Amino acid sequence: MKTNYEQWAVYQIWPRSFADGNGDGIGDLHGVLAKLDYLKWLGIDAIWFSPLYPSPNADYGYDCADYKNINPEYGDLELFKQVIDEAHKRNIKIIIDLVLNHTSDQHEWFKQSKIPGSKYHDYYIWRKGKGKDGKKPPNNWLSMFEGGAWEYNEDLGEHYLHVFAKGQPDLNMANPAVREEVKDIMRFWLDMGVDGFREDVITYIAKREGLPNGFPLPIATGCKHYTSLPKVKDYLREFKHDVLDKYNAFTVGEAPMMTTKVAKDYITGDDHVLDVMFHFQHMEADCIMNDWVATPFRLGKLKRVFKHWQRELHGQAFNANYMENHDHPRVVDKYGSRKYRVQSAKMLAALYILQSGMPFIYQGQENGMTNIELQRLDQFKDVVTFNNYNLAKKFGLSEKFFVKYANRRSRENSRTPMQWTAEKDAGWATPWFPVNENCSEINVAAAEADPNSILHWYRALLKFRKENPVAIYGKYTPLRAGRKVFAYESEHEGKRLVFVGSFSDKPKAFTPPAGGELVFCNYNTVQQKLQPWECRVYVMEN
C-alpha cells in the first residue's frame, strides 16, 4: 500500500468564499495561509482545493483557462508554493482539483482550435452539423447545465461539444496529444509539491465512438454515451503508470451516477486506477437525480445506501465519505433540522465521520453553516441556478417562487462566504456574494470560544477517529432501530463502535448496547429516551 491516506481527514476549500487576505471581498491564498493553523487545530490532514486556475468564472474555476497557473484573484504560483510549504510544515497534504473533461472556452487551446488546420482543432470535439446548412447539432445530446450540448461556430461551420456550460468545451481525450498534455500538467503540480488530485467528473472523459443519439431526457440526454465507458479506465491507467505512480500521488475521482459494481473496477485490486471515489447516491435521499428535483427526505434510502457502499467495499477499497461540498445545499438544511441545528449538525457529523473510510469536510460544515435567504434572482451567480430558472419559467413558475426554491435547493447555498466572526458580513469587506445574515450567531470565533459548539464536536470526532482504528477500518453492520433512528455498528480487531442518531423532533425509545462506554453524546444529560436529534456513540471490547 502506498501513502497511508486512510488516516486522512480532508478539508475542502472553495477558494472564492474561504478567507479573504487582501480585503477585496474575494477569498484568496493569503487568506488560506492565515487559516492553516485553524485547520491544523481542527485535526485536518489534507486540503482539497477546488480549482485555483485562472478562469473567466463561467463555472468558478471548473472552466479552466490555464492549467499551469493560479487565478490572479487568488494569488500567484509563488504564493501557492508558499501555501504548499506551510501546509507541509504542519503535516497537511495538498490535493488540487484537476478538471480534465473540459477547459474554458478562453483556454488558449480552444482559441487555437477554431483556426482551420490548427493541431488544437482535434483537442476538442468539433463536428459538422446536420441539415442543409449544417446548423443543426450533430446529435440530440443535452448539456447538464445549459440547453443543448453543442454550440455552433459560424466561421468554422462546425459545432463543439460541451457537456456542461457553453464556456466549458469538452476535451477530446481520445487524442494522444491531449493525454500527453494531461500528464505534463500533472507533473507540473506534482513537481511543485502537491500530493494528489481530485479529478472532476472523471468518468465522463471518454465519449462513445460515433457519438450516437441518446434516450431523450429533460437534461443530459446522451449521458449514457459518456459515462464510465471502458476507455476511461484505459486513460486513467496510462496517467497512473506514466505519472502518478512515480510520485506516489493520491487520487480521488468524482463519479456521478456511480454504482458499487463499477466503482470496484476503478478502485479495487492491483489494476485500480483511482484511490477513492465520490459517488452521489447518499446525496439523493431527498431528491431524484439532483438537488433541484426534491422529494420528501427518505431515511430508509440513506440507510440502504450507506449499508450497501460500506459492505460492498469493505476489505477491498476505501469509501470517500462526505455530506457536503460546493455542489449541494448545506447538510443541516438538507438532512438535519433548522430548529435543532446544533444537535442535528453534530449527529450527522458523527454518522458519517465514524464510518469506515476517508472523511471529507466542506468549509463551514464544521460550524453548522446553513442555507441562504436571498430575496432576488439577481443576487444569485451560478449558471445552474439561471438555467433552472429558465426551465421554471417554462413551467409557469414565478421569480418569487423560484427564489424561495433556490434558497433551499441550489448549490449556491454552500458557496456563501465563510462566517469567521460576528461582525457585519462576518468580517468580509464588500463580499463577492452575500454573507448569510445569521453570521452574528453562527461564526467561527463564537464556536471556538464555546466548548459545546459544533466546531469543537468535529474536532473531537476527528481526534477520536485518529486514535481508534475501528472508526477508520471498521466492518459495518446496520442495527435495527425505529423509523426515525439511524443505527449501525462497526467492528475492528475486537473493538466495536455503536452509533445511534435520531432524525426526529420527538423523543424516541432506545435501548443502549450492553457494556458500552458512551464516548459521544450531543446532549449534556443522557435520558432514557433519545432526545430530538440526539446522537450517541458507544465503544466496547468484544
**Active-site residues: which are they?**
200, 254
The contact mask relative to ligand NOJ for 87-116 (x = CB under 6 A, - = no) is ------------x-----------------
Q: Does 327 help bind ligand NOJ (rule: CB under 6 A)? A: yes
Question: Are 276 and 358 a contacting pair, CB within 8 Å?
Answer: yes
Nearest residue (CB) to ligand NOJ, 200 versus 333? 200
Query: By CB under 6 A, what part of segment 228-257 binds ligand NOJ?
Result: 254
Name 228's bridge partners: none
Specify the amino acid at residue 301: K
The cell for 296 is 420528501
Angle of helix 454-467 versus helix 29-42 axis, rounded to 10? 60
> Residue 215 CB, nearest distance to ligand NOJ (Å)?
22
> Residue 101 CB, nearest distance to ligand NOJ (Å)?
7
> Residue 103 CB, nearest distance to ligand NOJ (Å)?
10
User: Which one, of 138, 145, 289, 163, lies nearest residue 226 by Cα?
Assistant: 163
> Residue 326 CB, nearest distance to ligand NOJ (Å)?
6
> Residue 202 CB, nearest distance to ligand NOJ (Å)?
10
Long-range pairs for 62-65: beta carbons < 8 A, 24 or more residues apart:
62/97, 62/99, 62/164, 62/168, 62/200, 63/99, 63/102, 63/103, 63/104, 63/105, 63/106, 63/165, 63/167, 63/168, 64/99, 64/103, 64/104, 64/107, 65/103, 65/104, 65/106, 65/107, 65/108
Per CB under 6 A, the list member of 194, 201, 354, 481 interacting with ligand NOJ is 201
Question: Are 32 and 22 a contacting pair, CB within 8 Å?
Answer: no
Q: DSSP for 321-372, please give it.
A: E-S--TTS--HHHHTS-STTHHHHHHHHHHHHHTSSSEEEEETTGGGT----
Nearest residue (CB) to ligand NOJ, 104 versus 522? 104
> Residue 14 CB, nearest distance to ligand NOJ (Å)?
9
Q: Does 464 help bind ligand NOJ (rule: CB under 6 A)? A: no
Nearest residue (CB) to ligand NOJ, 120 versus 145? 145
Using CB under 6 A, count the residues that bind ligand NOJ.
9
**Rounded distance, CA 249 to CA 2, Å?**
9
Q: Is the dihedral of CA 417, 421, 424, 430 positive or negative?
A: negative
> Residue 340 CB, nearest distance to ligand NOJ (Å)?
29
Sort residue 384 into left (φ over 0), alpha (ψ -120 to 50) or beta: alpha
The cell for 93 is 497534504
Nearest residue (CB) to ligand NOJ, 290 versus 504? 290
> Residue 99 CB, nearest distance to ligand NOJ (Å)?
6
CA atoms within 13 A on the CB side of 240: 19
The contact mask relative to ligand NOJ for 264-303 (x = CB under 6 A, - = no) is ----------------------------------------
Query: In angstroms, what CA-CA distances link 172 with 3, 51, 169, 235?
Result: 31, 21, 10, 12
Q: Does 164 help bind ligand NOJ (rule: CB under 6 A)? A: yes
Residue nearest to ligand NOJ (CB): 62
Nearest residue (CB) to ligand NOJ, 18 versus 486? 18
Nearest residue (CB) to ligand NOJ, 45 versus 382? 382
Question: Are 228 and 255 a contacting pair, CB within 8 Å?
Answer: yes
Name 49's bridge partners: 13, 96
Nearest residue (CB) to ligand NOJ, 164 versus 389? 164
Angle of helix 230-239 versus helix 260-267 axis, rounded to 10? 30
Q: Does 412 help bind ligand NOJ (rule: CB under 6 A)? A: no
Nearest residue (CB) to ligand NOJ, 28 versus 412? 412
CB atoms within 10 A of CB 154: 7
> Residue 297 CB, nearest distance to ligand NOJ (Å)?
23
Name 95's bridge partners: 48, 196
The contact mask relative to ligand NOJ for 58-87 (x = CB under 6 A, - = no) is -x--x-------------------------
Per CB under 6 A, the list member of 45, 200, 366, 412 interacting with ligand NOJ is 200
Question: Are 500 and 440 a contacting pair, CB within 8 Å?
Answer: no
Question: Are 100 and 93 a contacting pair, CB within 8 Å?
Answer: no
Binding site for ligand NOJ (CB under 6 A): 59, 62, 99, 164, 200-201, 254, 326-327
